[in-house]
A and B are shown apart, each in its own frame.
Chain A
Amino acid sequence: MKTDRILKLMKFLFWLIFIALCFNAGSLIYILFKGKYVSLEGSKSIYVDPDLFDHSELRTTWYYISIILITTLLALKAYIAYLVTKIFTKVDFNNPFNTTTAKLLIKISRIALVTGVLVVTINSLYMWLNNKALVDILMKPYEEGSGEFLFLAGVIFVIAQIFKKGTEIQSENKLTI
């Protein structure tokens, strides 16, 4: 009963996280189009500020690359949250060891790995831009936590493999007469 309540709460939280991340990604897409078709100067967000980019010829290019990378990152995080909500809808907690859940867990670990690599890429890009003086020194790396994402991807992958093995053993037991 306690577990059921916790799982319901987790399901609700992950739906909230998914909606929030979708909203963030959508707002960045809006800012991207606003910057392109209206005015770059008014296109600020909490993630990227065009004023912090050096006023060079490639300013717009780097600004757009940053927005696209961060939007992709938010979309990936939203997808991970969506896959977790999918576990809650698809899994039968009376019989949890099935191939669907194992596949979902493996998928989550792969997406988490890609997300971690993307965060590393964004951080490296910002550091490179900083070194080349193409962005303001005040502009910090997008997110510290790329290592944590990669660590999390590894942990989820191991859990997914154990789950997959459990599914195989359960299936074999079911077909033992």
Chain B
Amino acid sequence: MPIIVNLDVMMAKRKMSLNELSEKVGVTLSNLSILKTGKAKAIRFSTLEAICKALNCQPSDILEFVSDS
């Protein structure tokens, strides 16, 4: 998939576990896991906003576009 989610990288930089992030963002552990492993099909702006607030980062720090070609 062309959109890569670098959630684990940001979580490592902020030294935050998935459990902690799940509590701060208000998203279940399984859904965050789906996002982290790149299986998500879409993300709501509200979720992205909550993640960026929790990790104190920009959307571009979490989402990256890589061309298929």
List residues of A whose CB falls within 8 A of some B CB. Answer: 171-172, 175-177
Contacts and interface: CB of A to CB of B under 8 A. Distances in A.
Interface in B7-41: 27, 31-32, 34-35, 39-41
A172 B42 CA distance: 8
A134 to B, nearest CB: 61
Contacts, number: 23
Main secondary structure of the interface of A (DSSP, over half): mixed
Interface of B: 27, 31-32, 34-35, 39-44, 47
21 contacts: A171-B41, A172-B42, A175-B34, A175-B39, A175-B40, A175-B41, A175-B42, A176-B41, A176-B42, A176-B43, A176-B44, A177-B27, A177-B31, A177-B32, A177-B34, A177-B35, A177-B40, A177-B42, A177-B43, A177-B44, A177-B47
A175 B35 CA distance: 9
A120 B28 CA distance: 56
A113 B27 CA distance: 47
Contacts of B41: 171-172, 175-176
Nearest to A175: B41
Nearest to B47: A177
Contacts of A172: 41-42
B65 to A, nearest CB: 18
B50 to A, nearest CB: 10
A40 B27 CA distance: 74
B45 to A, nearest CB: 11
Most buried by B among A171, A175, A176, A177: A177
A172 B31 CA distance: 13
A171 B34 CA distance: 13
